[in-house]
Structure 1
């Protein structure tokens, strides 16, 4: 049976139940209080029936076996969309699908939107590519093994460049048609300084294990509940990126460093673990009504959040770009991208664990993120554990930005 017929059957059943509910509620004239009470009970039964269709009442053992077979048979998009369709049938299906579908760390697959915030697979790079639109100043991330294919692959994330007088923002969204901070699909941003040498990655939701907003004097009691000032969305720093200055103008590759505030350095070692989100988190600060407060206090809160946790806590992961070698015959700096990069560009890089982490020599040689040019406006982006697709995309966006003091 196809998914279309399943949905049609469910709609027909819900329609029958709805008509029965209409007859129960409005099929009689004036009634006594006892009859009204009985009608209310009948209506509650009808509402329960609306929540539980025949598909929701399938035996859990049979349902689990069916969904497990579907999940294991769908390896790539667009076929994998049927796994998501199963999770949309009803609540019981959704809960079982969430149990069956493993995180990208284990399965190496991106299924639900939360997968973009979870660390990538261990031991292998998850291959993606970025398409740039110079006219609209937008960047789209796709999941695909072959960036030269005619199909765009599976869309993952979109970003839009916003120039400011003193900095540049890259707004990141789950929807390519609505890339704005006011959108419900907004998940974070990348902000640069004036010179384009330092960047901060902000998450729209409080990440697991990251710094929480501290209490301030402007915290008040409203209706006996504590309500804090509303912090702007995307004000949770999770990574800091810096590029070394090139004031002498010497020719050579860029030197960059990434401090991952929410990931421990031990995550790159065998058996190490990085924080993994299971759902998009919302705090009381996000849901509480905004309380006006002075700009100076707001600035102090934002500045306190933008301070790297490396100054506060030791043992967090620091990534550096892998040093390229000079090729005498080609007369250029070269890195081994295993065929994933075909065009020489100053934007190309590979990130590995920094020796500052105190990790083993083997872990320092393991490429965690690589980014490179394959066409005029097409770039590959391959990443793996312990960073997520969202973090990898934000780091790659920093390479697109103009760097006054680096080139």
Structure 2
């Protein structure tokens, strides 16, 4: 039996699950009854899932089958078969999560959580960003082939939202659902009025004990009108700052990123960065962590400055690699190894900032590089210890208008 027919057999098994109970009639006096109908149908679906012969395979046989499928998938997008196996049932999902390695080890992006896990150590994930000026949206793709002219594999999307005192970039897993109240919301980037300071927020805590912060974007809402899945909150995981251009002379931007969620030692040999293993379920049970009150931006700025001063010494700090002046071309130059073809003030390379005068090759390796290759096309390459989500948010900060830096 081929893998294709194997997957089709699995899909056919679950395509026979009865759906009759999902038809609900709305009307006064029918609410409690319709609620029971929905619950009964869910129970039927769950029972059918448990009774499937695919979920009753012996663990040894199941592990062998899934390992063979994983070993046969060398490239992506064919890894959709791996994802399809993980969607069969709970036992398959848990087994597949054990078999599939993180991007740090495998060098592959398989599940959505891979976008929040650190990239590979010895190579760069080559991606690119497409900008839609009219819709104020940005789309991140994985390059399947450097010579390919297609769109590659879609990873993340962002939408720019301008406010009187700041700008937000809402980041989502779906290209057509870019609202903060959606279950596909993974985080956001927020700038100050001048566009010189940014904060990256994650929708879920990067580690235990972190506190949610309040911001102006949280609104008073009616709990009865909220969708079943909403973001759990806003957790600051990084702060980006651009050096002010006081004299007004044009030149390369100078930027610094303090990665609050990543310690300073992962860039050193043997260092390990925190790795998220799964998206936290967000729903009514998670409402206590979501602030439903308004707060002034000054309070948020105060929180950010205090947090930055307390954590910057122990956290990973990234600084842009200084360009060199080319006398013949009369311009500033950086070696992007052919990944950037158009000169732009937005282009940058980030390296780890040495702590306490430390030296080593690890502090020369480019962790993130971003540059222009077309009118609205930019390359984005990243590696360990940052994730695709963090790299995308940092690159979005380069798009924002900077009144005091140009």
Map of 1:306 onto structure 2:
304
Q: SS of the residue aligned with 2:170?
A: strand
Q: Please say which of residues 375-384 and 359-368 is displaced more in the overlay.
A: 359-368
Q: SS of the residue aligned with 2:379?
A: strand
TM-score (norm 2): 0.82
C-alpha spacing 1:196/1:213, structure 2 compared with 1 (3 Å): closer
Map of 2:336 onto structure 1:
337
Q: SS of the residue aligned with 2:94?
A: helix
C-alpha spacing 1:396/1:147, structure 2 compared with 1 (3 Å): farther
Cα distance between partner residues in 2 of 1:11 and 1:250:
62
Q: How does 1:99-114 map to 2 (within 5 A)?
A: 99-114=98-113
Pair 1:269-2:268 in alignment? yes
Q: Is the 8 A contact 1:129 1:147 kept in 2?
A: no
Between Structure 1 and Structure 2, whose CA radius of gyration is higher?
Answer: 1
TM-score (norm 1): 0.81
Q: How does 1:8-407 map to 2 (within 5 A)?
A: 9-10=9-10, 50-146=49-145, 149-208=148-207, 211-213=210-212, 234-281=233-280, 287-288=286-287, 295-296=294-295, 302-303=300-301, 305-307=303-305, 309-313=307-311, 314-356=313-355, 358-407=357-406
The Cα shift of 1:356 comes to: 4.2
Cα distance between partner residues in 1 of 2:241 and 2:316:
14
The Cα shift of 1:284 comes to: 9.7
Q: Please say which of residues 336-345 and 6-15 is displaced more in the overlay.
A: 6-15
Cα distance between partner residues in 1 of 2:290 and 2:159:
29
Q: Please say which of residues 240-249 and 309-318 is displaced more in the overlay.
A: 309-318
Q: Is the 8 A contact 2:240 2:255 kept in 1?
A: yes
Q: Is the 8 A contact 2:232 2:286 kept in 1?
A: no
Q: Please say which of residues 385-394 and 330-339 is displaced more in the overlay.
A: 330-339
Note the residue ranges of structure 1 that are not aligned, 5 or more in a row.
23-43, 215-230
Q: SS of the residue aligned with 1:318?
A: strand
Cα distance between partner residues in 1 of 2:85 and 2:148:
28
Q: SS of the residue aligned with 2:272?
A: coil
- CA deviations on 1:166-207 (whole Å, 9 max, x unpaired) are 111101000110101011100110011111111010111111
Q: Is the 8 A contact 2:233 2:291 kept in 1?
A: no
The Cα shift of 1:77 comes to: 2.1
C-alpha spacing 1:402/1:357, structure 2 compared with 1 (3 Å): farther
The Cα shift of 1:308 comes to: 5.7
Note the residue ranges of structure 2 that are not aligned, 5 or more in a row.
22-42, 214-229
